[in-house]
Structures are given as structure tokens and as C-alpha cells.
């Protein structure tokens, strides 16, 4: 049963805190340490015992946490990183010279995690994964050791990985396919959201959620995340536990190949707010350290088999964040008493606390004081490894309900992929689904990965027994867009059919018809099935561009001219038939004068230059506004006051605008002008006009003119 104490203070890490890289036990024999004054110092474990090196002038000055480095496989430093008081990270060479473009990587003085990871397929290049605790974002930058005369330089910087992410970072060892997992977390209310992203030669993919964990005592952005040395467990510290029975750590089983997490095992460790956690080299124990304002933070361990908790030091100090294993196989944790020391656990997997070889004063510094921080390493993998394994593999899954076989490649680094299903069919999709007929089939996968051509054949992988249907169908070589194409199914020994028409549409009819709404070449696939045994046939159809003919009119029946507006799609040439015997070719938007009042059947043929012309028809009523047809003047009137035929009117459709009529005497002089609403009463200037013949002129809205005569009699 864990000894638990009254909690006197809990908070995020502050000025004297340091942290480890979130990838856990690392086998590194060189560390960078953050001193109490915010400077950076080296620590060497090559001889087995920790040896303090020199201070690095002005490197990360004023920062609280986040120092890091990358080494070769033999432990020689390649480059170093540290965050400074300006909340940016600086990258320096092995000799601590600032790289030409090594300034300005986003970070934060109190962001405890970063990681440096070899970039797959690019020997000598490394991804730096860094965190900005102010914006809760992860970024990546790339160091290329071939630049700067072999001293290295930053190739690209501050590429966003994800937002709303906590400080915990853990990177898995290299998978057999050459990739790695990046693990992190976000928070959502009172829940931790565990996330992962795939790290490949081109970068780091999008973060996706893999597990959530309810934290009723509250979440923390500064929680620590660690992988076990075998990469089979992932631990998350829960520093906001408020009562003795509350969990301090969540331990998740990890399936490394799929990157998936199982349900969490919750562990209560201490009454202190636990932040720093670390697996022992043999994964028998999980070490933990508290983080708070008082000096009596717990340092201890929990047995991962029995759950038994042992407190090793009940007053390790204040604001302690990290507890880490070094390349000598020993575990180290900082103290913050006086003097400040680096405490050591010589045998982290020893069966009882009395035999672990705990030395609180393994390294003593009277004047500076520091807490440890772990430079980059990948848990369970030797440092400095940059080679990508020549790997190709795949699995096959038989889908239910006769949906076929799905093929899944295991490599994630391929730049090209080619499947050969052994029955004459090939595919270049990443995870194709294929339907087989009767037979025994070899399956081959060929990929280009990291510039290498890799192939794998699995002989006799698929066996199918039963009655073999024969798929066959006929279709025209070419057809018009928008027009239904009939497919003639000639299959034999089949009772079910599945069609893929090449445009995303499918069907199950025996004799289907399908219209394509986009032109181009389409591959039509028919799978004929008898039970789950299938045969496949394919044909290509060239879909020719086709016009869609349509038109409108902007005129009404009262207009003297009918304006036709061509609204066709994809036409290049046009032919019009106006329905009254007149036709015209080549005009896109013609106008026409109808000389009779009637309903006219108008036709437009729109031709795209292929065999796929289209015709549009509509009936128009026209001619009502044409003066020679729709409007007329009587040939006589008698303005004698008898109330019969006393006014000469223009007569025509009441719903159409009247033309203007002007009346002229036999010498051509204008004697009156008006329209159908007024009419002429047979007077000129108030006097009776003389009897006799008069001429009239009708003028329409479009200057259409009609001339005529009438007789005035009294």
C-alpha cells in the first residue's frame, strides 16, 4: 500500500525544472543538463560514472527546460538544442557553434519535451519534434548533417504537426516497415485524449485520436508520456490527483505495429502530484517523482506485476520533473536541497528497494544545482541509427458477404506500388479489393521504397473451389455524354452481377443502362458471380462530348421581334428552325419577326463538333405585336354625331401596346396623331374635317410601319 502525504502544493514546472525527452530509457551516454542559473552543461556517462563537463556559454540562457541532442551510434554528439528565455530553440553543432539557420525554432522556456528522430530514407537527416507550451502546438524542423561543411544546418523549420497538444512526447522505435509512431495527448474538459501520428520519410502525418481517459481530478497540459523499453506499454502521468485513492499514472498496453492502445490500468502511487515517470531497463518497475512547491516530494517505484509501491526518498526536493535512465543502465533523478545533487539508482530492476544502490549524492554541485534532462533517444533502439530496413510485406483479408479479398501492404515508405493477383489482373492502389475465380493463385507485391525496388511473392496464397462463372459483356466503343448506354450482359454460369461504370456509379442489374455526365474514357467492370466465385470482365467506353440544347425568349407575344437566347451547353455550331418556314444557321442568339399570329414550334440544334448534337424544341406564341397582322384601321368612318362609327380607332390586341397612328390629307399634311385609346373624331383644330379620302401611317415600337387609306363620310 502506498504511503501518501498531505498535498501542500502542485503546479506546472517552473524555473529550476528540467525534463527528459518523452521517449523513455535511451541508452545514451551523453546528456545535456540545465543548471540552476538556466545555463547548459554536458554530462558524460561513457566510463559508467557521471562526469560533469563544461558550461556552454550563452546556450539556452534563461530557459527552464528542454535541452536535447543527437548522437552517432557510437555515442559521439552530432548536434545540440536548447530553449532560451526568448521562447525559441537554438540548434548548435557538435562543437557548440550555432548552425547558420539554427535560430528561431518555436518553443517555450517551460515546455519540458522534445525529440530528435532519424528521418527514414534520408541518412544524415533528423526530425526535431518540439513543443510550444504557450500555444499548445507541436512542430517539426529538419537538420541535415551534409550541410554547413558537414557540421549540419537546419533544412526547414517550424512545420506544424498539430494543435491543442500537451507537452508529453514519446517516439517509438523503428517499425519493421521503416516508420515510427509519434505519441502525444490533448485535453478535452476532464479527459486526456491520447493521439498518434505516423512518422515517414516525407514528414509526420496528422495526429489522430487512439484513446481517451476520463480524469475527474482534472487534466494537465504538462503531463509526462513514456514508452516502455519493449515498446509494449505507454504511461501517462496524472499530476492532478487530489485524494489518496486517486490514480497518479495511467498505463496503456500498446500494439506497436498498429499503434493502438488497450484500456488503461490506473495506478495510485503517492499523495504528491506525480509528473516524472520512467520505466526500468527491464520494465519490471515504473519509477515516479513528485512535482510541487515543497521539498518533500516523493521519489519511488511501483512493481508492474504486483502493483506494490516503494518510496525510495520521501524528500527528493521541489519542482522535480524528470527521472531518467542513462546509457550506463542506471537511473538518475535530480534533488533540489542544499547542496543540489544528482541522485542515482545503480540497479533499477533490483527486486527490493534496499538493493537498488540508491545514492542521493552521486553527483554534487555546491554552487550551481540542476535537475537532469535526457537528450534524445528512441526507446528500445540504439541511438544514432539512420538506416531504413529493406522491407516489403503484405497481408490478405477475405471480406464477408462475398465482397472479395482486401490486400494490405505493411510498408509505409513506398513511393510506388504494384500488385499482381496471379490471375492476370494487376492494381496500383494502396489497399485494393480483388475478386477471384476458381483456382490457386500466387500474389506478388512490388514497391519502390527509399529508392530501392523491393518485391515479394507469396505462392499459392489464394485457393478458390467451385463452379466457375464466365463474365462477358458488350458495349459500344463510343457513346454520347448524357445519353443512356445499354450494356449487353453475355455472362455464363452466373446468378449475380456487380457493375462498376468507371465514374463512381455501380449497379447490380443483369442488363443495365447508364448515362455518363462527364466525357472521357471510362473503364467498365463487370463481376459475374455464382456464390462467392467470380469472374471479371472489363471494357473501355469513350464518352464523347455532347451538347445540351436549350433556349429561352426575352420577348412576349406583343413584341414585333422575337429575341431568342441560346442557353445550350457545349455547343459549337447552331441551327434554328423558327417554325414558320424560316431557318438560320450559325447564329447563336438570333431574333425573328413573325408575320402571322399563331403558335410556332421552334427548334434549336446544338452541335459540339462530334456525333453528339442535341435538339431542343418549344412552342412560342408570336405575331401579336406585328402591325401588318395584329393591328388594323377601318376603311371608313362617319363622324356625324349619330353615335355610330363617329371615331376612327386603331383596332388590335387589347393586351398589347398600341402603335401610333398619324392621319394625313391628300396633300400629305398631318391632320391628327394618336393611338388606339384616343382615336380620331374627324376634326382638325376643332373644325370638321372635309369629307374625302385620307391616308394613315401606323408605327410600332420597333419602327415597323403600316400604310393605308380610309374614307371620311358624314
Superfamily of segment(s) 30-371: YVTN repeat-like/Quinoprotein amine dehydrogenase (2.130.10.10)
Cβ 257 vs Cβ 281: under 8 Å: no
Contacts (Cβ under 8 Å, ≥6 apart) of 652: 630, 631, 632, 658, 659, 676
Instruction: Report how far residue 290's alpha carbon sits from residue 7's, in angstroms, rounded to the nearest whole number.
Output: 10
Cell (9 digits) for 190: 476532464
Cell (9 digits) for 148: 554547413
Instruction: Report how far residue 713's alpha carbon sits from residue 87's, in angstroms, rounded to the nearest whole number.
Output: 109
Report the first-to-last Cα separation within the chain, whole angstroms. 132
Cell (9 digits) for 604: 434549336
Cβ 293 vs Cβ 307: under 8 Å: no
The answer to whether the predicted template modeling score (pTM) of the entire model surpasses 0.85 is no
pLDDT score recorded for residue 489: 97
Instruction: Report how far residue 177's alpha carbon sits from residue 158's, in angstroms, rounded to the nearest whole number.
Output: 27
Q: Residue 474: beta bridge partners?
A: 488
Instruction: Report how far residue 407's alpha carbon sits from residue 393's, in angstroms, rounded to the nearest whole number.
Output: 10
**Are both 30-371 and 627-712 of the same fold?**
no
pLDDT score recorded for residue 649: 95
Burial (0-12, 13-18, 19+ Cβ within 10 Å), 263: exposed
Query: Per residue in 82-124, pLDDT tens?
Result: 999 999 999 999 999 999 999 999 999 888 889 999 998 888 9
pLDDT score recorded for residue 2: 33
The DSSP secondary-structure symbol of 648 reads B
Contacts (Cβ under 8 Å, ≥6 apart) of 380: 25, 173, 227, 228, 229, 230, 231
Indicate whether 24 pLDDT > 70: no
pLDDT score recorded for residue 367: 46
Query: Per residue in 363-376, pLDDT tens?
Result: 887 544 444 555 65
pLDDT score recorded for residue 449: 87
Span of 207-216, 302-311, 625-634, 705-714 with lowest mean pLDDT? 625-634
pLDDT score recorded for residue 19: 29
Instruction: Report how far residue 561's alpha carbon sits from residue 563's, in angstroms, rounded to the nearest whole number.
Output: 6
Structure-model confidence comparison of residues 401 and 673, the more confident one: 673
Which DSSP string do the residues of 395-427 spell out, in sequence order?
Answer: EEEEPSTT--EEEEES-S-EEEEEEE-SSS-EE
Q: Domain limits of the chain?
A: 30-371, 394-464, 478-540, 551-622, 627-712
Structure-model confidence comparison of residues 7 and 128, the more confident one: 128
pLDDT score recorded for residue 4: 32
Cell (9 digits) for 371: 535537475
The answer as to CATH 3.40.50.980 being correct for domain 394-464 is no
Cβ 540 vs Cβ 563: under 8 Å: no
pLDDT score recorded for residue 20: 30
Query: Per residue in 223-281, pLDDT tens?
Result: 999 999 999 999 999 998 767 678 999 999 999 999 999 999 999 999 999 999 999 99
The percent of residues above 70 in pLDDT, for the chain, comes to: 93
Instruction: Report how far residue 574's alpha carbon sits from residue 296's, in angstroms, rounded to the nearest whole number.
Output: 92
Indicate whether 75 pLDDT > 60: yes
Return the SS3 of 354: helix
pLDDT score recorded for residue 375: 60
Instruction: Report how far residue 324's alpha carbon sits from residue 672's, in angstroms, rounded to the nearest whole number.
Output: 113
- Residue among 178, 187, 219 nearest 195 (CA): 187
Structure-model confidence comparison of residues 321 and 678, the more confident one: 678
Number of Cβ within 10 Å of residue 281's Cβ equals 17
Instruction: Report how far residue 675's alpha carbon sits from residue 220's, in angstroms, rounded to the nearest whole number.
Output: 89
**How far, CA to CA in Å, does 11 sit from each of 14, 19, 217, 273, 311?**
8, 15, 14, 8, 21
Instruction: Report how far residue 638's alpha carbon sits from residue 652's, in angstroms, rounded to the nearest whole number.
Output: 20
Instruction: Report how far residue 20's alpha carbon sits from residue 49's, in angstroms, rounded to the nearest whole number.
Output: 19
Beta strand residue intervals within 346-409, DSSP E: 358-365, 370-371, 394-398, 405-409
- Residue among 138, 305, 120 nearest 206 (CA): 138
- Residue among 261, 246, 89 nearest 184 (CA): 261
pLDDT score recorded for residue 366: 56
Cell (9 digits) for 587: 447564329
pLDDT score recorded for residue 385: 64
- Band of the pLDDT at 5, cuts 50, 70, 90? very low
pLDDT score recorded for residue 520: 94
Contacts (Cβ under 8 Å, ≥6 apart) of 170: 22, 23, 24, 115, 182, 183, 184, 225, 226, 227, 234, 379
Mean pLDDT of 202-229: 92
Span of 271-280, 385-394, 473-482, 662-671 with lowest mean pLDDT? 385-394
Instruction: Report how far residue 704's alpha carbon sits from residue 392's, in angstroms, rounded to the nearest whole number.
Output: 84
- Band of the pLDDT at 17, cuts 50, 70, 90? very low
Cβ 340 vs Cβ 369: under 8 Å: yes
Return the SS3 of 273: coil
Cβ 65 vs Cβ 21: under 8 Å: no
Cell (9 digits) for 325: 535512465
Indicate whether 129 pLDDT > 80: yes
Kindly compute the dihedral angle of the four CA atoms of residues 328, 331, 336, 338, in this order, to the nearest 10 degrees: -60
pLDDT score recorded for residue 386: 62
Indicate whether 450 pLDDT > 80: yes
Beta strand pairing call for 370-371 and 358-365: unpaired
Number of Cβ within 10 Å of residue 165's Cβ equals 22
**Is the bond into 339 cis (omega within 30 degrees of 0)?**
yes
Cβ 523 vs Cβ 536: under 8 Å: no
Instruction: Report how far residue 708's alpha carbon sits from residue 694's, in angstroms, rounded to the nearest whole number.
Output: 9
Q: What share of the chain is helix, strand, coil (3-state, %, to 5)?
A: 0, 45, 50
pLDDT score recorded for residue 607: 93
pLDDT score recorded for residue 242: 67
Q: Residue 515: beta bridge partners?
A: 484
- Residue among 661, 673, 672, 664 nearest 693 (CA): 664
Instruction: Report how far residue 133's alpha carbon sits from residue 119's, in angstroms, rounded to the nearest whole number.
Output: 25
- Band of the pLDDT at 700, cuts 50, 70, 90? confident
Instruction: Report how far residue 557's alpha carbon sits from residue 566's, in angstroms, rounded to the nearest whole number.
Output: 19
Mean pLDDT of 150-166: 96
Cell (9 digits) for 2: 502506498
Span of 179-183, 219-223, 282-286, 553-557 with lowest mean pLDDT? 553-557
Span of 236-240, 376-380, 574-578, 671-675 with lowest mean pLDDT? 376-380
pLDDT score recorded for residue 376: 58
pLDDT score recorded for residue 377: 63
Indicate whether 476 pLDDT > 90: yes
Domain 478-540: assigned CATH number:
2.60.40.10
Span of 56-60, 271-275, 409-413 with lowest mean pLDDT? 409-413
Instruction: Report how far residue 575's alpha carbon sits from residue 622's, in angstroms, rounded to the nearest whole number.
Output: 20
Q: How many CA atoms lie within 13 A of 428 on its CB side?
A: 3
Mean pLDDT of 328-357: 91
Domain 627-712: assigned CATH number:
2.60.40.3080
Indicate whether 487 pLDDT > 80: yes
Fold of 551-622: Immunoglobulin-like (2.60.40)
pLDDT score recorded for residue 485: 95
Q: Residue 167: beta bridge partners?
A: none
Cβ 152 vs Cβ 92: under 8 Å: no
Which DSSP string do the residues of 476-537 spell out, in sequence order?
Answer: -SEEETTSEEE-EE--BS-SEEEEE-SSS-EE--SS-EEE-SS-EEEEEEEEEEETTEEEEE
Amino acid at each position: 500500500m502506498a504511503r501518501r502525504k498531505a498535498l501542500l502544493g502542485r503546479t506546472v514546472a517552473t524555473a529550476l525544472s528540467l525534463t527528459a525527452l518523452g521517449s523513455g530509457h535511451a541508452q545514451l551516454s551523453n546528456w545535456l543538463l540545465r543548471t540552476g542559473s538556466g545555463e547548459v552543461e554536458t554530462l558524460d556517462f561513457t566510463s559508467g560514472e557521471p562526469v560533469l563537463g563544461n558550461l556552454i556559454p550563452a546556450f539556452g540562457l534563461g530557459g527552464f527546460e528542454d535541452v536535447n541532442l543527437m548522437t552517432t551510434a557510437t555515442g559521439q554528439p552530432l548536434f545540440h538544442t536548447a530553449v532560451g528565455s526568448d521562447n525559441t530553440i537554438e540548434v548548435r553543432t557538435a562543437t557548440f557553434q550555432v548552425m547558420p539557420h539554427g535560430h528561431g525554432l518555436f518553443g517555450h522556456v517551460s515546455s519540458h519535451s522534445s525529440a530528435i528522430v532519424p528521418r527514414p530514407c534520408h541518412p544524415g537527416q533528423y526530425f526535431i519534434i518540439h513543443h510550444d507550451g504557450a500555444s499548445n502546438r507541436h512542430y517539426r524542423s529538419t537538420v541535415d548533417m551534409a550541410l554547413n561543411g558537414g557540421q549540419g544546418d537546419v533544412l526547414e523549420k517550424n512545420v506544424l504537426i498539430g494543435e491543442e497538444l500537451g507537452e508529453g512526447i514519446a517516439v517509438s522505435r523503428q517499425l519493421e516497415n521503416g516508420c515510427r509512431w509519434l505519441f502525444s495527448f490533448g485535453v478535452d474538459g476532464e479527459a486526456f485524449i491520447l493521439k498518434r501520428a505516423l512518422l515517414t520519410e516525407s514528414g509526420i502525418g496528422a495526429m489522430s485520436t487512439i484513446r481517451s481517459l476520463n480524469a475527474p481530478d482534472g487534466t494537465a497540459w504538462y503531463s509526462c508520456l513514456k514508452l516502455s523499453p519493449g515498446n509494449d506499454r505507454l504511461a501517462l502521468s496524472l499530476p492532478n490527483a487530489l485524494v489518496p485513492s486517486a490514480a497518479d499514472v495511467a498505463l496503456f498496453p500498446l500494439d506497436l505495429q498498429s499503434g493502438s492502445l488497450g484500456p488503461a490500468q490506473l495506478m495510485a502511487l503517492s499523495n504528491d502530484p506525480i509528473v516524472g515517470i520512467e520505466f526500468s531497463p527491464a520494465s519490471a518497475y515504473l519509477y515516479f517523482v513528485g512535482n510541487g512547491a515543497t521539498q518533500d516530494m516523493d521519489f519511488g517505484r511501483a512493481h508492474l506485476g504486483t502493483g506494490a509501491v516503494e518510496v525510495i526518498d520521501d524528500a527528493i526536493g521541489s519542482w522535480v520533473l524528470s527521472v531518467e535512465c542513462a546509457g550506463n543502465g542506471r537511473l538518475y533523478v535530480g534533488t533540489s536541497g542544499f547542496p543540489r545533487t544528482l541522485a542515482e539508482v545503480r540497479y533499477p530492476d533490483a527486486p527490493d528497494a534496499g538493493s537498488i544502490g540508491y545514492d542521493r549524492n552521486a553527483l554534487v554541485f555546491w554552487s550551481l544545482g540542476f535537475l537532469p534532462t535526457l537528450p534524445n533517444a528512441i526507446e528500445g533502439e540504439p541511438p544514432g541509427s539512420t538506416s531504413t530496413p529493406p522491407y516489403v510485406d503484405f497481408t490478405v483479408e477475405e471480406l464477408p458477404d462475398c465482397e472479395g479479398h482486401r490486400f494490405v501492404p505493411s510498408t509505409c515508405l513506398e513511393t510506388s506500388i504494384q500488385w499482381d493477383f496471379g490471375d492476370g489482373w494487376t492494381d496500383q492502389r494502396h489497399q485494393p479489393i480483388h475478386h477471384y475465380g476458381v483456382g490457386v493463385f500466387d500474389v506478388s507485391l512490388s514497391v519502390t521504397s527509399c529508392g530501392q525496388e523491393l518485391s515479394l511473392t507469396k505462392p499459392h496464397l489464394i485457393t478458390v473451389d467451385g463452379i466457375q462463372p464466365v463474365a462477358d459483356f458488350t458495349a459500344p466503343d463510343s457513346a454520347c455524354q448524357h445519353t443512356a448506354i445499354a450494356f449487353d450482359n453475355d455472362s455464363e454460369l452466373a446468378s449475380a452481377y456487380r457493375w462498376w461504370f468507371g465514374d463512381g456509379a455501380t449497379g447490380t442489374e443483369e442488363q443495365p443502362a447508364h448515362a455518363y455526365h462527364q466525357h472521357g474514357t471510362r473503364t467498365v467492370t463487370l463481376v459475374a458471380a455464382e456464390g462467392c466465385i467470380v469472374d471479371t470482365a472489363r471494357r473501355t467506353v469513350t464518352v464523347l462530348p455532347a451538347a445540351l440544347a436549350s433556349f429561352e425568349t426575352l420577348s412576349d407575344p406583343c413584341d414585333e421581334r422575337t429575341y431568342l437566347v441560346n442557353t445550350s451547353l457545349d455547343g459549337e455550331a447552331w441551327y434554328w428552325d423558327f417554325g414558320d418556314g424560316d431557318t438560320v444557321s450559325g447564329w447563336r442568339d438570333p431574333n425573328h419577326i413573325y408575320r402571322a399570329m399563331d403558335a410556332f414550334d421552334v427548334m434549336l440544334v446544338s452541335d459540339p463538333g462530334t456525333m453528339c448534337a442535341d435538339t431542343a424544341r418549344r412552342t412560342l406564341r408570336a405575331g401579336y405585336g406585328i402591325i401588318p397582322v395584329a393591328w388594323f384601321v377601318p376603311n371608313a368612318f362617319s363622324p356625324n354625331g349619330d353615335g355610330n362609327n363617329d371615331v376612327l380607332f386603331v383596332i388590335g390586341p387589347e393586351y398589347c401596346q398600341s402603335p401610333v397612328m398619324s392621319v394625313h390629307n391628300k396633300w400629305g399634311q398631318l391632320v391628327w396623331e394618336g393611338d388606339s385609346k384616343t382615336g380620331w373624331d374627324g376634326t382638325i383644330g376643332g373644325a370638321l374635317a372635309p369629307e374625302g379620302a385620307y391616308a394613315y401611317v401606323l408605327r410600332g415600337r420597333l419602327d415597323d410601319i403600316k400604310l393605308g387609306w380610309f374614307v371620311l363620310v358624314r
